[in-house]
Structure 1
Amino acid sequence: MNFLAFIVALVLRQLWGAEARLHRDGWWRDWCDRANGFGLLPWLQLALTVGLPLLLTLLLLDLLRPLLFGLPWIAAAALVLLYAFGRGDFHARIARYRDYCERGNREGAWLYLRQELQVGDPQEVDPGLEPGELHQQLQASLYYDGFQRWFAVVFWFVLLGPVAALGYRLLQLYRDAEGDAGPAVTLLFLLDWLPLRLLLATFAVAGDFVRSRDELVAALLEPWADASALLLAVGSAAAGTSAGDPALRQAAGDVTEVAGLLSRSGVVWVVVIAVLAILA
């Protein structure tokens, strides 16, 4: 039933767009604010704010499973998966940045990087990074954003079901709210570890295998490396994007290649999941 729910969610996502109507996080943020008043230790705080919604979702899905041949469960699981997908329209953000680059508006492109894509410190007006470094940060940000919004969610949905996918999204939301110093960072590193390496291997298959082979092997030998750094290293080699300070048109081409590589990798994952469902 997981596979059917997965297909239903993908169809609904195509119909509704990436800005899913279910992406309303106010209820959870209200719960976080209330739980913050309990004065718990960080790990207990995380267990309460993330664990309780997961427990309630699990109980609801268990109640629906035996009804009407599992059809209500499939519908509910698809909705949970839709909610677990990343926020915002990823491709629209890339398209807007590419438009700045193609029109030769370097200042507008830079400001969009700093403010909308959150590359670097959005509060600074004077760039603290060299253009080449900023371009690398952009690519790293896009790779990880693409990974966490779809690939990691799908991996945990297929492996452990809709509650696991929801848990991953709530951890991402918790990390966004609490910063990079809380216990959610440790859990996300562990949850990212396996799907990240599967995606790196997919990059080599969906992109330039010869160029990315050495980078892939090096990444697989670095078990504690930062996720964004690994995605950038292997993704840049697979997509053939520039490593230095590109011209604006080259920058536009680079982000197009990043989006293309992520899209092709997504197709590979869907095909593999379908084959595994048929063979199971």
Structure 2
Amino acid sequence: MSLIIILICLTAERFLLHKQALHQPVWFNDYSDWYYRQELPVWMRNGFGGVISLLLQQLFDVTLAGLPGALFACAVLLYSLGPNDLDQQISHFIKARDEGDEQHARGVARNLLNDEPPPHDPAYSQAVAESILIQANNRIFAVIFWFLVLGPIGALLYRLASRLPLTHTAGEDLDFHLFSRQLVSILDWIPARITAFSYAIAGSFEDAMNGWRSYNEQRFDEFSDSASGILICTGSGALRLASVLDRNRDDTTHHLYLVEAAMSLVWRSLVVWGVMLGLFTFADWL
């Protein structure tokens, strides 16, 4: 049943639902602001206690919706994916660059990176390609992982937790921000490594494993968290990004092939997940 629900939700998000506003967690931002303003004990509003209390309260409220099991699971998983369609964003980015609309392209890139992109290629396209490797885990793979482990509440838990560092409360309370980042890192630890391994299977396995080892041995300090580091190093290895850039170092055109290759790797990895889930489901039926 889990495999069927996942396939239904991935298909619906990709082909049936085009109103991205339905995925935007504006309500959660408003809810967190309201929660922060309540006359609650300090331990329930600040730091680690505030993070956990806010999440548990909201998860408890959601479970009271009373929807039948399968319908509830579909609704929650579909909401938890995203909030933006990664493939659609990349399509807009590539189209904008092809048409010379750099303002739009940089706006999309800024949204993907949560930062200002580099000014010129190949660093510009490489940064977007690396962000795809991270965002695919955050928006798709980690959500599916926690759905499989804890059901629909697991998927929602991950989605809400990933929003906590971006809330007004996190901006006002440094401890809240730090603990919310730590919570996301904990939730990302296992799915990020499974996603990285799926990148290796879907791409150049040996180069991907070399990238993983290079992160552990040499590049650990380059990244703000281990999930991002492993995803970028392993995914870049799977794409043979370094050798591709070296062969095309004199190319003065857009390096959009890097972005396209990264998105293709994500789709192949999703197929790997689907095949593995299908095999586990089939084995369970026997």
TM-score range with shorter-chain normalisation? 0.7 to 0.9
Which residue in 1 is equivalent to 2:227?
227
Partner residue, 1:41: 46
Aligned partner of 1:97: which letter? F
Q: Which residue of 2 aligns with 1:98?
A: 94
Structure 1 position 173 matched with structure 2 position 169: no
Cα distance in 1 for partners of 2:192, 2:254 equals: 27
Per-residue CA distance 1:50-84 (angstroms, 9 max, x = gap): 21121233455xx65xxxxxxx2101111000011
Q: CA deviation at 1:118?
A: 4.1
* Cα deviation, residue 182, structure 1: 2.7
Q: What residue number does 2:29 align with?
A: 29
| TM-score, normalised by the number of residues in structure 2 | 0.79
- Find the counterpart in structure 2 of residue 255 from structure 1: 259
Unmatched 5+ residue regions in structure 1? 65-71
Q: Cα distance 1:164–1:246, how it changes in 2: closer, same or farther (>3 A)?
A: farther
Aligned identity (percent) is 25
C-alpha contact 1:147 1:196 (8 A) present in aligned 2: yes
**1:146 paired residue among 111, 136, 141:** 136
More off after superposition, 135-144 vs 181-190: 135-144
Match 2:58 to one of 53, 58, 62:
53
Q: 1:93 to 1:20 in 2, by over 3 A?
A: closer
The answer on whether the counterparts of 1:153 and 1:165 sit within 8 Å (CA) in structure 2 is yes
8 Å Cα contact 1:81/1:162 also seen in 2: yes
Which ranges in structure 2 are unaligned for 5 or more consecutive residues? none
Which digits, 9 at most, give the CA deviation of each residue in 1:217-273, with x for residues without a partner?
Answer: 444676x95322222211112123345778464521010000000010011101111
Q: Write out aligned runs for 1:1-280 (5 A).
A: 1-17=1-17, 19=19, 22-38=22-38, 40-60=45-65, 72-103=68-99, 105=100, 107-108=102-103, 111-112=106-107, 115-118=110-113, 120-121=115-116, 131-177=121-167, 178=170, 181-219=177-215, 226-241=226-241, 242-243=244-245, 247=251, 249=253, 251-280=255-284
For 1:238 and 1:259, the matched residues in 2 are separated by 12
Assess, with a 3 A threshold, how the Cα gap between structure 1 residues 98 and 230 changes in structure 2: closer, same or farther: same
Q: Shift of residue 136 of structure 1?
A: 3.6
Q: Give CA-to-partner distance per residue, 1:127-146, whole Å, 9 cap, x none.
A: 6x675444443223221111
Give the alignment's Cα RMSD to 1 decimal.
3.1
Change (3 A) 1:208 1:246: farther
Is this contact kept in 1: 2:47–2:179, CA < 8 A? yes
C-alpha contact 1:101 1:248 (8 A) present in aligned 2 = no
Stretch moving more, 186-195 or 131-140: 131-140
**Could you tell which deviates more after superposition, 164-173 or 112-121?**
112-121
State which drifts further: 152-161 or 32-41. 32-41
How far does residue 86 in structure 1 lie from its aligned partner after superposition?
1.1
Residue deviations 1:69-117, cap 9 Å, x none? xxx21011110000111112212221222224434x4854773366443
SS of 1:87's equivalent in the other structure is: coil
Q: Which amino acid aligns with 2:23?
A: H
Report the Cα distance in structure 2 between the residues aligned to 1:119 and 1:29, rounded to whole angstroms. Answer: 18
Q: Partners of 2:211 and 2:80 in 1: how far apart?
A: 30
Separation in 2, partners of 1:47, 1:278: 37
Taking a change above 3 Å as real, the CA distance of residues 48 and 248 of structure 1, as seen in their structure-2 partners, is farther
2:23 match: secondary structure: coil
Residue 34 of structure 1 aligns to a residue whose secondary structure is: helix
For the structure 1 residues 250 and 205, does the alpha-carbon distance in structure 2 shift closer, same or farther, using more than 3 Å as the test? farther
Contact 1:209 1:238 in 2 (8 A): yes
TM-score by length of 1: 0.81
CA distance, structure 1, for counterparts of residue 253 and residue 59 of structure 2: 45
More off after superposition, 225-234 vs 169-178 = 225-234
The change in CA–CA distance for 1:171 and 1:201 in structure 2 (over 3 A counts) is same
